[in-house]
Amino acid sequence: MSAARDAGMTPASALASDSTAAPEATSGFANTAIDSTGLMPSGLEPTPRGVAAGRWLGWRRRALVVLALLGCVGLFALLRALSATPFVDAAWRTNAKGQLVLASSGDPDVQKFIGETVLGVVSPDGRLLPTEVLLARRSPRWVLDDAERRRQLADGAAFAAVVQQGAVRLQLAESGATVEVRTVPRGYAGLGSMFWLMTALALVFYLIGAVVVLVQPDERNLLYGVAALAQTTHLLLIGLDTLSAFGVPARWAHLDLWLRIACDVVTSAACVHALSVHPRRLPFQGLIAVAAWAVGLGFIATVGLNQIPRLWWWVQTMHLGYFAAGYVVLTWSYRLEPHPMVIVMRRLGLAVLAILLLLTAAIALSQPNPEVQQFAAGPGALIWYVFQASALMLVPFLSRSQQVMREFTLLAGISAVATSLDLLFVAVFALGQFTSHTLALFLALGLYAGARQWMLNLLMGSNMLTTERMFESLYRIAREIETAGGDSTEHFARLMRELFEPLELSHTSRSAGGARVVGDGSTMVVPLPRVPGVPEENQPRGSLVLRFARRGRRMFTRDDARLTDRVLEQLVRAVAFDRAVEQGRNEERARIAQDLHDDIGARLLTLMYKAQSPEMEDYVRHTLQDLKTLTRGLAASSHLLSHASAEWKADITQRLEAAHCELDWSFDFDRDVNLTVVQWSALTRMLRELINNVIVHAEAGCVDVSGRFERGRFTLLVSDDGAGRKPEDWAHGLGLGGIRKRVKLLGGEVRWRENSPRGVTCEIRVPELGERP
């Protein structure tokens, strides 16, 4: 069962796949090379090949219009021919015994017999035809008994000859009279609502098949077109079965049966052939295709040339065998490559196979009951073919979130299940009509609820990212992009991995206007957006190509593409917002630093000159120096680690000397890096708070401060020999709590431990320090 290459059903979407070259994988995002043919969306720069593809697109549009006109003209011709067929000018109803009763007639001579039971139709040779010829006929394809099928075809042919004479003679029961009812043209209104529904469904399926073939006329889509044409034909034949008092002439009776069987076999063979090439071409694919068609065409020829005994059993066995072969082919394909389309197709095929098995068992077990057999070959067959056609129509739309199509297929499948269960309950358990209907409906509704959620899980996934986790990922990636600078392609790739868990992710140099699902839902192409505030040479370029969502367990849908566009849009806005906020912070820091320097600095300078004692003058001088260090740090956008460590040492030395405490200082780093304002401010305040605690609480005689910066990791140790013990019991107020908050802001960790024999050590570890390149 094929679909358009890019999972889109419009010729415009195919232009993108035809008019662009295969993208070049430029990054090492995936270990597996991917087939990118046809992945690129429209909106690229025009190329000579694109111009040729434009002409090709115009040809396909014209071909689609021609095929649509041919289909409509052919359907109109059929409707016109059927509206002119003779129709018995009477209406019927059934009584409590299931007998046919004359309900109304437009013939004045017949109206006096209204209410009488009809025993049958009198043929020209005097034979009494059964009353079922006046009703919608049973599909001969689904009549189990060979003799009963031959009798039905013969009665239909005899009735067709009767209505051509202009009048039909009815044998009545109560009066014993034979009344002649004239025939009139059926007219369009006499075709019935069910016939119009089946013809509309057939036309839609015909047009879908034409679009799929024209979008990408390759092997698999041509096979889908063949299956669609076969099912369109069968839907029209089922529509003819819904016409009441419609007889098939003898010369067409055998052709009618042969054509129905041929449609089933051709559909099955085309599906097996298509599954051997899609979503990937299997080893020995040619042998599989030849075997599928050889068996099918041989069986069709045998049916056309010979009278096969137990024909229904042979046709059902052939049908079930093809479905089983398709399931085996899909299983083999998935083992070779975990394509999500295979999972969806295999489970959908399994559901169709299970329903067909259920319907087959119900019809086989109901053979002794003629009324059940008649229902199975009438409404039962109609419901099955509607479900089979809707399942095939759903295939090209699996990755396009066509909710109406999906719900229609589910309802058709559940209706087929309910019909099969109803037949099964009557045939096996001999339940009454009301009881079997109620029980079958109850079970079918339960299956519908489960099957609907199952189908949604296949398409949307049962482990979708929650909104909370999505915003956490957005915020984290935005902060990383904002602080890292440079090319942010890897950050976007990591976000896509968190959102969809693709089995493969690669980078292509081609760009596009928006996210797009291609490859029958197996692949999504995500263009990389421009990041505000990043130089042109560092802007991410091209697109990310994601294959096999949820590790190959689900398909991409158009909802995924829309979600991706919105997520990237919000991510770019978040980056722009962060940059604006950071710019505002820097401007505010500079303003505060300037105000402190101009106002508080001037006052402290005046106070230093007016000091009453040398000690007071020295204290104010040191305070003024601290203020200059603070304002300089606030005003600067970055600080070298070597300069910052020198300032820290000078400040700590001055404070410890005033407290008569010794300082052991060591600071090693493998390279000098620039600290951001946030990093400098946090480390400065943490060191001051730790030294304050040593001076005020520990009453230590010696403090050891050591720092080490190696390969981007920073470690700071502050130890004392004071009276502090049991740090795990300390209350974390503003001081220690502030240290923890600042360490967390830097993405690091802090812990306190006891020294032996006295004192406490505070250890701070920051995994990444300095401005990112």
Q: For 141-192, what is each residue's pLDDT tens digit?
A: 888 888 988 888 888 888 888 888 888 899 998 888 888 888 889 999 889 8
In 337-466, where does DSSP find H-type helix?
A: 340-365, 370-375, 381-394, 403-429, 433-460
pLDDT given for residue 633 in this prediction: 63
Choose among 757, 678, 683: nearest CA to 719: 757
CB pairs under 8 A, 24+ apart, for 311-319? Answer: 311/146, 311/149, 311/261, 312/141, 312/142, 312/143, 312/144, 312/146, 312/149, 315/141, 315/261, 315/264, 315/265, 316/360, 318/264, 318/265, 318/268, 319/264, 319/265, 319/268, 319/356
| E-only strand ranges, 186-324 | none
Region 38-54: what's the mean pLDDT?
Answer: 41
**For residue 624, pLDDT beyond 80:** no
**Mean of the pLDDT values across residues 578-591?**
74
Cα–Cα distances in angstroms (integers) from residue 521 to residues 227, 349, 460, in the given order:
21, 18, 11
Segment 633-662 shows an average pLDDT of: 80
Distance of alpha carbon 717 from alpha carbon 440, whole angstroms? 75
Amino acid at 210: A
Q: What beta strand segments (E) does 1-144 contain?
A: 86-88, 90-94, 100-105, 118-122, 128-129
Q: pLDDT at position 510, please?
A: 82
What's the pLDDT score for residue 1? 40
Which pair of structure tokens corresponds to residue 11? Answer: 């010729």
The DSSP element (H or E) to which 720 belongs, if any, is strand 713-720
Amino acid at 48: P
| Phi, psi (degrees; rounded to nearest 5) at 487 | -75, 125
Residue 194: is its pLDDT beyond 60?
yes
Instruction: Quote the CA–CA distance of 186 and 182 in Å, as a whole number.
Output: 12
CA angle in degrees (0–180, nearest 5) for 311-313-314 = 65
Q: 342-398, pLDDT tens digit by residue?
A: 877 887 788 788 888 888 888 888 777 777 677 767 777 888 888 888 888 878 776
**Average of per-residue pLDDT across 551-566:** 81
Cβ-Cβ contacts under 8 Å for 754 (sequence gap 6 or more): 725, 726, 727, 760, 761
Question: pLDDT at residue 33 above 60?
Answer: no
Residue 131 has pLDDT above 70, yes or no: yes
Reported as type and span, the H/E element at residue 683 is helix 677-693
Contact in structure between 385 and 413 (CB atoms under 8 Å): no
Residue 652 is inside which H or E element, if any? helix 641-658
CA atoms of 427 and 459, how far apart (whole Å) = 38
Give the pLDDT band (50/70/90) at residue 773. very low
Tell whether omega for the bond before 767 is within 30 degrees of 0, i.e. cis: no
- Work out the pLDDT band at 203, boundaries 50, 70, 90: very high
Residue with tokens 């042109």: 536
When mean pLDDT is compared over 226-230, 397-401, 463-467, the highest value belongs to: 226-230
Q: Are strands 662-669 and 702-710 parallel, antiparallel or unpaired?
A: parallel
Which one has a higher pLDDT value, 455 or 353?
353
Tokens 């129905």 identify what position? 260
pLDDT number for residue 20: 35
Give SS3 for 630: helix
Residue 602 dihedral angles phi and psi, to the nearest 5°: -65, -40
Least confident of 153-167, 441-455, 620-634, 713-727: 441-455
3-state secondary structure of 311: helix
pLDDT in tens, 234-285: 999 999 988 888 888 877 888 889 999 999 999 999 999 999 998 889 999 9
The residue with greater pLDDT, 620 or 56, is: 620
Average of per-residue pLDDT across 81-108 = 86
* Tokens read off for 535: 């130089």
Residue 45 has pLDDT above 60, yes or no: no
Q: What is the mean pLDDT of residues 573-596?
A: 75
Q: How far apart are CA 668 and CA 645, in angstroms?
A: 10
pLDDT > 90: percent of the chain: 18
Would you state the pLDDT for residue 106?
A: 83
What's the CA gap between 341 and 400, in Å, rounded?
A: 13
State both tokens at 115. Answer: 């209410």
**Average pLDDT value over all residues in the chain:** 79
Tell me the range of 129-143, 288-302, 529-543, 567-581 where mean pLDDT is highest.
288-302
pLDDT value, residue 81: 92
Distance CA 329, CA 323 (A): 10
- Distance between CA 750 and CA 482 in Å, rounded? 26
Could you tell me how far CA 680 lies from the centroid of its own chain?
48
Cα distance between residue 362 and residue 422, in whole Å: 8
pLDDT of residue 54: 54
Compute the distance between CA of residue 292 and CA of residue 281 in angstroms, rounded to an integer: 15
Output the pLDDT for position 32. Answer: 34
Q: Say what the pLDDT of residue 429 is.
A: 62
> Which one has a higher pLDDT value, 426 or 576?
576
Helix axes 614-635, 641-658, angle to 10 degrees: 160
Query: Quick one: pLDDT at residue 486?
Result: 64
Lowest mean pLDDT among 205-219, 459-473, 490-504, 657-671: 459-473
- Rounded Cα–Cα distance for residues 488 and 529 (Å): 10
Task: Please compute the mean of the pLDDT values over residues 752-757 and round it to a whole number.
Answer: 83
Q: Which residues have C-beta within 8 Å of that of residue 182, sequence separation ≥ 6?
A: 89, 107, 166, 167
CB of 687 closer than 8 Å to CB of 750: no
Q: Which helix (H) or strand (E) holds 54?
A: helix 48-83
The answer for residues whose C-beta is within 8 angstroms of residue 17's C-beta and 6 or more apart is 5, 6, 37, 38, 39, 40, 216, 518
Instruction: Answer whether 100's CB lies under 8 Å from 217's CB.
Output: no
With cut-offs at 50, 70 and 90, classify the pLDDT of residue 412. low
pLDDT of 114 strictly over 80: yes
Identify the helix (H) or strand (E) that includes residue 546: strand 543-547
Per-residue pLDDT reduced to its tens digit, 706-743: 999 988 889 999 998 887 777 777 766 667 888 888 88
Which pLDDT value is given to residue 262?
A: 95
Q: At residue 17, does pLDDT exceed 70?
A: no
- Concatenated DSSP letters for 484-502? H-S--HHHHHHHHHHHH--
Q: Is the peptide bond prior to 279 cis by the omega test (within 30 degrees of 0)?
A: yes
Q: 505, 497 in Cβ contact below 8 A?
A: yes
The amino acid that residue 402 corresponds to is Q
pLDDT at 421 over 80: no
**How confident is the model at residue 311, as a pLDDT?**
92
Structural Rg of the chain based on CA atoms: 41
Q: What phi and psi values does residue 104 have, to the nearest 5 degrees?
A: -165, 165
DSSP state of 136: B
User: Percentage helix, strand, coil, to 5, in the chain?
Assistant: 60, 15, 25
